[in-house]
Chains A and B, each alone.
Chain A
Amino acid sequence: MAKITFITSDGNTTIVEGSTGSVMELAVQNKIKGIDGDCGGVCSCATCHVHVNPEQWDKTGAPDELENDMLEFDDNVSEYSRLSCQMKVSEDLDGLILTVAK
């Protein structure tokens, strides 16, 4: 079980719990504003972009090549950007704080 905090663009903070699936699926399930996951989680639409709390970058690790390519030219990219469909929910992510990208 992992508790993950989402901060949305309207400033709201939501803490959700999950144990399986991707972080994107967990966000959709909990109606986190700004996370759509239109392509179903195959790294094709970039509608699940989040910024990882810099201090927790070790928890998530860096994106792979495809994910990185999807993010590189995004207007709102940061060095801590990830596509949440490519992050698996596990205990390793417990306590993670994510800011939903604009």
Chain B
Amino acid sequence: MSSTTQNKVCIVIGASHAGVNFAFALRREGWEGEIILYDNDKEFPYHRPPLSKAYLTSEEGTEQSLLFPKENYKTDNIVLKLGIAVNTINKEEKTITLANGSVQQYDKLVIATGARPFIPPIQGLDLAKNVFPMRTAEDAINIRKTINNSLTKRAVIIGGGYIGLETAASLKKLGADVVVLEREERVLARVTAPVMSDFFTQLHQNNGVKVLTRKNVVSIENKDDHNVVVCDDGTKLNADLIVVGVGIKVNSELAQNAGIVIENGIKVDETAKTNDPNIYAIGDCTYHFNPHYKYHLRLESVQNAVDQAKAAAKAICEQEVVYDTIPWFWSDQFDVKLQIVGLSKGYNQIIIRQEEAENSFSTWYFKDDELLAVDAVNFAKAYVLGTKFIKSKQKLDKSKISDLSIPFKPNSFLA
């Protein structure tokens, strides 16, 4: 294929995990033409997961956690156009139009626009000072500055998901007085079993973070030097900093306006291709089929961004490929490392294995006899073994999993 791509142009919209890994993968797969990446963010592409974790508590800038070193873009001839918005895609003409009006032609287009924080319609939120989401390096820097410059350091986190909890843990380390407000009856309600919610609630409370559930924030009152967060049950909390972490909205408008099929995200096939043969989409913004679990889904994760990017690169270089992976995730809060493999949706039984060491256990999600997912807390072995079992679909003897007298080895748990 080398002779056929030499004079071709591949444009990527979005230069974060998906877009950047795609660009390097495309070069690796043999694309000889131009590769141009556009992103609104002015920062050189960086790892996002550390933002709510180590990055927030350090003094460092993103230069410590670049996705790829700057030299690699030069040696692989990947052109980065940062701080530039793409306004429209014209799929009939095979062009994109930039915010400054200039038009750029493409042969293949990859949409890696990700998602943006959802800002809920809370009265007074738009006028409140020191309100930030947690998505970009700029957000993290703003949060860090606000807390470091505040004498009273009162932080209110709206939303008890992973972003909210990780940010809470990091802010606590920075000496803040932190309250997490969750609308549901438990934190992490959307993504984990109640036992995990209980564990993380306890972990935060033990570390001095207040976790309040069933708190629906209805308004923000703006005082001279701080905000008052008001909940529907009358709870009022003073806040020098408000972090909003209640989920995301997919950046699918650009694709939608171009006539690309949207269904809970940009709909793509097993090669990451949209309904247009020259347009692909990868990462957080896609709605795709997972062959292992046999349903369509959208995933917000590094694993999905990187692996779908690699699949798209292969497909564009005309190799046979099917995007077929077991999703994995991780979260760091205080001294706890959570590693998740698989998707627990649809489980009807959980088994908990508590290790002898404190704060070390794993939660195994089953649907009948099939292992769907494992949450491993300070116990990476369960994560690794869970991965193996999920992939192989081997039948397990569930009664053995929670039995600590049985050595933790691959063959110990087979039925």
Instruction: Flag if A40 contacts B303 (CB, 8 Å).
Output: no
A44 touches B330 (CB 8 A): yes
A70 interfacial by beta-carbon distance below 8 Å? yes
CB interface residues, B 67-85, toward A, < 8 Å: 68-69, 71-72
Task: State in angstroms the CA–CA spacing of A39 and B340 once bound together.
Answer: 13
> When the two chains form their complex, are residues B65 and A40 in contact, meaning their CB atoms are under 8 A apart?
yes
Task: Let me know if A45 is at the binding interface, CB within 8 A.
Answer: yes
Q: In the complex, are the beta carbons of A40 and B50 less than 8 A apart?
A: yes
Residue of B47, B381, B410 touching A69 (CB-CB under 8 A): B381
A31 with B65: CB separation less than 8 A: no
CB contacts (< 8 Å) of B380 on chain A: these are 43, 66, 69-70
In the complex, whether B306 has a CB less than 8 A from a CB of chain A is yes
Q: Within the assembled complex, what's the spacing in Å between the Cα atoms of A25 and B379?
A: 25
Say whether B344 faces chain A, with CB atoms less than 8 Å apart. no
On chain A, the residues within 8 Å of B385 by CB distance are: 73
Q: Quick one: which of A25-48 are within 8 Å of B by CB?
A: 25, 28-29, 31, 36, 38-40, 42-46
Report how far A5 CA is from B306 CA in the complex, Å: 26
Task: Given A38-B302, A40-B47, decide whether A69 and B384 contact each other with a Cβ distance below 8 A.
Answer: yes
Give A78 Cβ to nearest chain B Cβ, in Å. Answer: 16
Binary interface encoding of chain A residues 58-77 relative to chain B, with 1 for a CB under 8 A from any of its CBs, else 0: 00000000100110111000
* A contact residues around B47 at 8 Å (CB): 40
- Cβ of B328 and Cβ of A42 under 8 Å apart? no
Q: A-facing mask of B382-398, CB < 8 A → 1, else 0?
A: 01110010000000000
**CA gap between A44 and B384 in the complex, in Å:** 10
Once the chains bind, are B69 and A74 in contact (CB under 8 Å)?
A: no
Return the contact of A29 from the options B71, B328, B332 (Cβ within 8 A): B71
Rounded to whole Å, the gap between the CB of A77 and the closest CB of chain B is 10
* B window 271-323: CB within 8 A of A: 302-303, 306
The answer on a CB contact under 8 Å between B379 and A69 is: yes
Q: Give the shortest distance, in Å, between B97 (CB) and chain A (any CB).
A: 33
Q: Which of A's residues lie within 8 Å of B, judged by CB? A: 25, 28-29, 31, 36, 38-40, 42-46, 66, 69-70, 72-74
Q: Are A44 and B72 in contact, with the CB atoms below 8 A?
A: no
- Residues of chain B within 8 A (CB-CB) of A31 are 28, 72
Query: Given that A39-B302, A42-B330 are known contacts, is A74 also in contact with B71, CB under 8 Å in the complex?
Result: no
Question: What distance in Å separates the Cβ of A27 from its nearest Cβ neighbour in chain B?
Answer: 12
Once A28-B68, A29-B69, A39-B330 are accepted as A-B contacts, the answer to whether A73 and B388 lie under 8 Å apart by CB is: yes
Name the prevailing secondary structure of the B interface residues: helix
Least CB distance, A75 to chain B, in whole angstroms: 8
Cβ-based interface call for B49 (8 A): yes
Q: Which of A25, A39, A44, A73 contacts B410 (CB 8 A)?
A: A73
Please name 12 pairs of A and B residues whose Cβ atoms are closer than 8 Å in the assembled complex, sorted by A.
A25-B69, A29-B68, A29-B71, A38-B303, A39-B330, A42-B330, A44-B328, A44-B337, A44-B339, A69-B380, A70-B383, A73-B388
Contact A45 B303 (CB under 8 A): yes
- Return the chain A residue nearest B331 by Cβ: A44
Chain A residue nearest in CB terms to B67: A40
On chain B, the residues within 8 Å of A28 by CB distance are: 68-69, 72
Sample of 7 further A-B pairs with CB below 8 A, known A43-B380, A45-B303: A29-B68, A39-B49, A39-B302, A42-B50, A42-B330, A42-B332, A46-B384
Question: How far is the CB of A30 from the nearest CB of chain B, in Å?
Answer: 9
The complex places the Cα of A43 from the Cα of B410 at a distance, in Å, of 21
Report Cα–Cα, A40/B65, bound state, in Å.
8
Interchain CA distance A39-B72 in the complex, whole Å: 18
Q: How far is the CB of B256 from chain A (nearest CB, A)?
A: 30
CA distance A28 to B71 in the complex (A): 11
| CB closest residue in chain A, given B328 | A45
B384 touches A38 (CB 8 A): no
The 5 closest A-B pairs by CB, nearest first: A69-B380, A40-B47, A44-B330, A69-B381, A73-B384
A72/B330 in contact, CB under 8 A:
no
Q: In the bound complex, how far is the Cα of B49 from the Cα of A63, in angstroms? A: 24
CA distance A45 to B339 in the complex (A): 10
Which residue from chain A places its CB closest to the CB of B69 in the assembled complex? A29
Write out the residue numbers on chain B whose beta carbons fall within 8 Å of the beta carbon of A69: 379-381, 384
